[in-house]
Amino acid sequence: MSKYDSDDRTVDTFAAFEQQPLKLSRRRFLLGTSAMAALPLLSGLWPKSALAEAISQALPQFIALRQAQKGILTAAHWGAFEAIVQDGKMVSTQAIQDDPYPNDLIAMAPHQVHAKNRIKYPMVRKSWLEKGPGANPELRGNDEWVRVSWDKALDLVAAQITRLQTEHGPQSIYAGSYGWKSVGMLHNSRTLLQRLMNLSGGFLGYAGDYSTGAAQVIMTHVVGSMEVYEQQTAWPNVIENSQLVVMWGCNPMITLKNSWNVPDHYGQTGFEALKKKGTRVISIDPVHSDSAKFLNAEWIAPHAYTDSAMLLGIAHTLLTEKLHKPDFLKTYTVGFDKFEEYLLGKTDGEEKTAEWAAAICGVKADDLRQLARDMANNRTMIMGGWGIQRQHHGEQPHWLLVTVASMLGQIGLPGGGFGFSYHYSSGGSPTAKGGIVAGISAGNAPKNSPTPIPVARIAECLTSPGKTVDFNGSKVIYPDVKMVYVAGGNPFHQHQDTNNLRQAYQHLETVVVNEPYWTASAKHADIVFPITTSYERNDLEMGGDYSQLYVFPMHQCVPPQNEARNDFDVFAGLAERLGVHDAFTEGKDEIQWLKGMYDDMKQQARDAKVALPPFDMFWSSNNYVRFPVPEANTQWIRFADFRDNPLLNPLGTPSGKIEIFSETIAKMNYSDCRGYPSWMPPHEWNQAEVAAKYPLSLNTAHAANRLHSQLDNTPLRDKYAVADREAIMIHPLDAEKRGIKDGDLVRAFNDRGQILVGALVSEDIRDGVVRISEGAWFDPAEPSEEKSLCKNGNVNCLTFDIGSSSLAQGNCGQMAQLEIEKYQGPVLKNTAHDVPAGA
Ligand SMILES: Nc1nc2c(c(=O)[nH]1)N[C@H]1C(S)=C(S)[C@@H](COP(=O)(O)OP(=O)(O)OC[C@H]3O[C@@H](n4cnc5c(=O)[nH]c(N)nc54)[C@H](O)[C@@H]3O)O[C@H]1N2
Ligand SMILES: Nc1nc2c(c(=O)[nH]1)N[C@H]1C(S)=C(S)[C@@H](COP(=O)(O)OP(=O)(O)OC[C@H]3O[C@@H](n4cnc5c(=O)[nH]c(N)nc54)[C@H](O)[C@@H]3O)O[C@H]1N2
Ligand SMILES: [Mo]
């Protein structure tokens, strides 16, 4: 773990150079919305002056990071890398030397830039262009496309924004635009969209996210913070102290590949160290995950969606075998007594014994009891993933994980307790000391801006204007939305029940999409703007979400392709037409924005006594910054301060303690989320009525070789596609019953939709459960028909679109009942990655 150890940088190392910054040609900084020749970055990447020599001696870590430079340094959700460019084309990539777990997704960057299905020009749907807003909405996804000039396209969109703001107000424009876009603190498409909309009258936005919709709301009530996005007990501390690691619905070796910022990939080194040490790991997952295999973990496979019952069986065992810690519960929690009554059946007449739990989750009662004993008798770290909360009543599993951890009494101790972000963006990677790059801001929302809707309720909002719904103790009234603007997200991938969303879109007059590619969301728009990839512009991004370890320059590698423009320039163009251009750009060009962000970050670093090179030198060096990690941070323990002194360091809950019973929630009086954590059968599962017709339970995990829908249009697909479709993992028993063989083309279906998938028959999944990863692009065989067969295997054609509960209104993307059969129909060509007619 010495790799990121602290060093002795002094704040004045660079003082001498501040006075004489390198003079760089401004040309190098020019961003091109106009076609630009390939930048002369390859030659003379590093200024070989005496000054640079001096710097290399003064701050070895800055330059030593990068000795062998081959290409142009840039970065993505999959890591920082050098892009090799020849004759204006990106041809290959190389991960930075510093990356402890380089990600094979990086190799896809050239394919992203030069993809066949890039949107080349601004395009407008024919009916909309000819007849105006709202024309033939049923033709979306099936109309012709007409190429228009940039000026024309910008005029059309600006006119709609103006008209709607005047006639219907800001609530008529949904510009929340949820999505994973690309990294980069300046070219942040979603923030830029919101910046424009805030300047021009406001917009309807959203609350929450698709990742942790249920957990982030319940955790705020239970431990006083969202918890899912908090720094975790540092890895060196876990490796040293944890005797048992329980991965609960957690597949870190896959989900750590990509991060919200540029990943530091430190988490994988943590898991690797656990493996080397031989720490006992148990994986609780209907699927024998890659992580479980990598770690030689014991695999316990509950039936899908039954984790709450399983956890109650464990809690009951802890209580009745007196393995729980009453002192901890008394000092650090409130409401255990009420939970105890429920556990013992005093509330509802049903004792939540291990046998009771076993009948629901399908894990033997003896195994549940043994698990409870093992957790109590060892220093145990429970690592909870998020798939278990992307479900109906998804608030309960995380609440119960915290409850069980409280009963074990190890929260705040070295290597003990729970952590809900070890699988995400390298939670537990020790926090460095330096500065943070703050991105461009969305600005202030004007007064009277509409109340945001829960993000995953968008389709219902479109179809039910005026409807009132519960949301975390308040009421939200859906406004009448006329226009949706998407920049950096893919609703036709992210949202549940795609066919329903497609119907809901028919209520819209206008759909605008900024996209590099012809995704299903772009195909279902009225106006599309072709957008650059992040490799076609200059930017800055932090590396390591929790560690804040790096600052990466993202140098432009190639000129904008075809007529693509940066989101920034598209919104600046709209801002001009809406009379807010100067406020939008603040009179700064790309490089001036980046310099400003860098300088602010540098000042913070200086305050923390960490010296950094001046911007010009940083930028021209083709190098990145790696901040020192203070030794103390490598042993940081989550909740240690609370444990040390709960009065001085209370949690942000009403009681200041962990709330096993929440008075606040109880008072909301929701039938689908009580004041204490409990088992409530989900809307659909293997014991619900629907299972008679649709016996299989769906698992829709995040794909190893994709980021959601991103990179589905690259050759990586050859690694995972079966019969040229998204794969479906089926247990041999389930396959045999239906005469399905490995490699067969399969139709998966329920009342909401049907998709074509390729069979992967494997004992790595519990029988009764099938896995289809999220992210395959939607490709209806007959776009004019409702619920047409998706030829590529978009799993959200099968999921249902209801809120997790009245409390959080999170999405339920990780569940659905379905049936499968060997596909016998006509041969259907997969056209998910084709460009539409006329484009
Ligand atoms: N059934 C089911 N559904 C799920 C999930 C699940 O587990 N199961 N997971 C959910 C989760 S956790 C999430 S976070 C969501 C993810 O949903 P999204 O964030 O919508 O998924 P992405 O595929 O990352 O979509 C990002 C889009 O932005 C585009 N893009 C990239 N860079 C830029 C740029 O610079 N500018 C512009 N304008 N566009 C750009 C990409 O091409 C892509 O189309 O999906 C959710 N949906
Ligand atoms: N490679 C890659 N990495 C990613 C992403 C990506 O798309 N690709 N997306 C990123 C994003 S936005 C997010 S939000 C995170 C997602 O992080 P998570 O939500 O944790 O990831 P998932 O793959 O949805 O689910 C994790 C595990 O939960 C299991 N699981 C599902 N249902 C159940 C259940 O009912 N019970 C139990 N016990 N286990 C269950 C799945 O089988 C899977 O192994 O990953 C991030 N990292
Ligand atoms: Mo997510």
Share of the chain above pLDDT 70, in %: 92
* Residue 21 pLDDT exceeds 80: no
pLDDT of the residue at 385: 98
Give the whole-angstrom CA distance, residue 760 versus residue 287: 13
Ligand of minimum distance to the alpha carbon of 711: 1
Let me know: does 487 contact 189? Beta carbons within 8 Å. Answer: yes
Tens-digit pLDDT profile for residues 532-556: 999 999 999 999 999 999 999 999 9
Let me know: does 323 contact 368? Beta carbons within 8 Å. Answer: no
Ion ligand 3 neighbours, Cβ < 5 Å: 211
* pLDDT classification of 63: cutoffs 50, 70, 90: low
Give the whole-angstrom CA distance, residue 458 versus residue 414: 42
Tens-digit pLDDT profile for residues 189-247: 999 999 999 999 999 999 999 999 999 999 999 999 999 999 999 999 999 999 999 99
What is the pairing mode between strands 72-76 and 79-86? antiparallel
What is the number of the ligand 2 atom nearest to the C-alpha of 390?
Answer: 19
Report the pLDDT averaged over residues 52-74: 62
* pLDDT classification of 838: cutoffs 50, 70, 90: confident
What is the number of the ligand 1 atom nearest to the C-alpha of 710?
Answer: 23
Let me know: does 379 contact 243? Beta carbons within 8 Å. Answer: yes
Going by alpha carbons, the residue nearest to atom 28 of ligand 1 is 488
For residue 542, which amino acid is it? M
- Closest C-alpha among 250, 362, 386, 385 to residue 309: 362
pLDDT of the residue at 243: 98
Give the whole-angstrom CA distance, residue 755 versus residue 35: 41
Give 428 Cα–ligand 2 centroid separation in angstroms.
18
In testing the pocket of ligand 1, which one of 515, 566, 590, 794 has its CB within 8 Å of the most ligand atoms? 515
Tens-digit pLDDT profile for residues 24-57: 333 333 333 222 233 333 333 444 454 555 454 4
Q: Which pTM value belongs to this model?
A: 0.94
- Closest C-alpha among 839, 186, 76 to residue 569: 186
**Cα 510 to the chain's mean position, in Å?**
27
pLDDT of the residue at 611: 84
Ligand of minimum distance to the alpha carbon of 513: 1
For residue 343, which amino acid is it? L
Reduced 3-state DSSP string for 592-606: HHHHHHHHHHHHHHH
For residue 114, which amino acid is it? H
Ligand of minimum distance to the alpha carbon of 228: 2
pLDDT of the residue at 52: 52
Going by alpha carbons, the residue nearest to atom 2 of ligand 2 is 255
* pLDDT classification of 65: cutoffs 50, 70, 90: low
pLDDT of the residue at 621: 86
Tens-digit pLDDT profile for residues 579-596: 999 999 999 999 999 999
Tens-digit pLDDT profile for residues 630-642: 999 999 999 999 9
Q: Which residues line ligand 2 (CB under 6 A)?
A: 211, 248-251, 254-255, 257-258, 284-287, 289, 302, 304-305, 307, 385-388, 423-424, 699, 701-704, 706-708, 814
Let me know: does 508 contact 463? Beta carbons within 8 Å. Answer: no
Handedness of CA 768, 726, 773, 280 (dihedral sign): positive
Average pLDDT, the chain: 92
Report the pLDDT averaged over residues 253-257: 98
Out of 46-50, 406-410, 834-838, which region has the weakest mean confidence (pLDDT)? 46-50
Backbone angles phi, psi at 637, to 5 degrees: -125, 125
What is the pairing mode between strands 453-454 and 298-300? unpaired
Crossing angle for the helix pair 307-320 and 354-361, nearest 10 degrees?
160
Tens-digit pLDDT profile for residues 339-353: 999 999 999 999 999
Integer-rounded Cα Rg, in Å, for the chain is 27
pLDDT of the residue at 10: 31
Token pair recorded at residue 318: 């802890």
* pLDDT classification of 134: cutoffs 50, 70, 90: very high
Burial class of 827 by CB neighbour count within 10 A (0 to 12, 13 to 18, 19+): exposed
Handedness of CA 174, 175, 181, 183 (dihedral sign): negative
pLDDT of the residue at 66: 62
Report the pLDDT averaged over residues 749-767: 98
Let me know: does 109 contact 531? Beta carbons within 8 Å. Answer: no
Give 706 Cα–ligand 2 centroid separation in angstroms.
12
Ligand of minimum distance to the alpha carbon of 104: 2
Helix (H, G, I), strand (E, B) or coil at 567: helix
Beta bridge partners of 281: 245
Edge to edge, the sheet with strand 483-487 lists 145-147, 123-125, 527-530, 510-515, 483-487, 173-174
- Closest C-alpha among 578, 532, 614 to residue 186: 532
Tens-digit pLDDT profile for residues 432-458: 999 999 999 999 999 989 999 999 999
Give 532 Cα–ligand 2 centroid separation in angstroms.
29
What is the pairing mode between strands 206-207 and 453-454? parallel
Give the whole-angstrom CA distance, residue 714 versus residue 137: 31
pLDDT of the residue at 59: 56
Report the pLDDT averaged over residues 635-655: 98
> Catalytic amino acids?
178, 180
Give 698 Cα–ligand 2 centroid separation in angstroms.
13
Give 255 Cα–ligand 2 centroid separation in angstroms.
7
What is the number of the ligand 1 atom nearest to the C-alpha of 796?
Answer: 1
Beta bridge partners of 485: 512
- Closest C-alpha among 205, 140, 261, 244 to residue 784: 140
pLDDT of the residue at 837: 86
Tens-digit pLDDT profile for residues 459-500: 999 999 999 999 999 999 999 999 999 999 999 999 999 999
Give 757 Cα–ligand 2 centroid separation in angstroms.
20
Give the whole-angstrom CA distance, residue 660 versus residue 747: 44
Tens-digit pLDDT profile for residues 671-701: 999 999 999 999 999 999 999 999 999 999 9
pLDDT of the residue at 61: 52
